[in-house]
Amino acid sequence: MTVPTLREPAHLVSPNAVRYWALGALIGALVLWVVLVVAYVVVPEGIKTWLGPVAIALLVLRLVHLVAMPTVRYRVHRWEVTPTAIYTRAGWLTREQRIAPLSRVQTVDSQQGPVMRMFRLSSITVTTASAAGPITIACLDQEVARQVVAELTEITGRSEGDAT
């Protein structure tokens, strides 16, 4: 018996996602750096001897995260909607691949916060009748997201029943 191989979803997210994720990582790094500097200034001298190397290690790790994560995430994050299913793959350290039959879709939501609007990005959340929870397609170009929401609404509207 031959086991079929699962192909990866066809579409990448928006290239603007790289800058969006980099900005989020930069903000997180800046907060960490400020906390570490304040901690280093206010702690007693005895603690500074071990806090310094720990702080440097954390800063280096955060810098690696800032540089590597957005590009790796962009290469990994993929999505596809077919007439029968929605496929997603996400992650950067750990990978999650989800496939949900469109007959199981209950709701389709889109989100766009203020920073996402700056980068012309939107995310789509597809809630299914699944214990695994909703499927999210993060960081699509906002026009692509509108089209995907319309397509999913049209496809799922053809299905009878309540997707349970």
Cβ atoms < 10 Å from Cβ of 138:
21
For the segment 105-129, the average pLDDT, to the nearest whole number, is: 94
> What percent of the chain is predicted at pLDDT more than 70?
93
Q: Which residue range is the domain that position 50 belongs to? A: 14-74
Would you say residue 43 lies in a domain?
Answer: yes
Overall domain count for the chain = 2
Retrieve residue 67's tokens.
């540089």
More confidently predicted of 7 and 1: 7
Same structural domain, 86 and 56: no
Cβ atoms < 10 Å from Cβ of 4:
5
- The verdict on pTM exceeding 0.95 is no
Retrieve residue 92's tokens.
């950067």
Would you say residue 1 lies in a domain?
Answer: no
Phi-psi region of 139 (alpha: psi -120 to 50; beta: other; left: phi over 0): left
CATH of the domain at 116: 2.30.29.30
**Residue 97: closest CA among 32, 37, 8, 27:** 8
Same structural domain, 53 and 118: no
Same structural domain, 62 and 125: no
Same structural domain, 150 and 96: yes
Strands of 121-128's sheet in order across: 105-111, 121-128, 135-141
- For 128, counting Cβ atoms within 10 Å of its Cβ (0-12 exposed, 13-18 middle, 19+ buried), the class is buried
Query: What pLDDT shows up at residue 8?
Result: 84
For 37-92, write each residue's pLDDT tens digit. 888 888 888 877 888 888 889 889 999 999 999 999 999 999 999 888 899 999 88
Would you say residue 61 lies in a domain?
Answer: yes
Q: How confident is the model at residue 160 (pLDDT cuts 50, 70, 90)?
A: low
Same structural domain, 70 and 81: no
Same structural domain, 35 and 50: yes
Q: Which residue reads 């800058």 in tokens?
A: 19
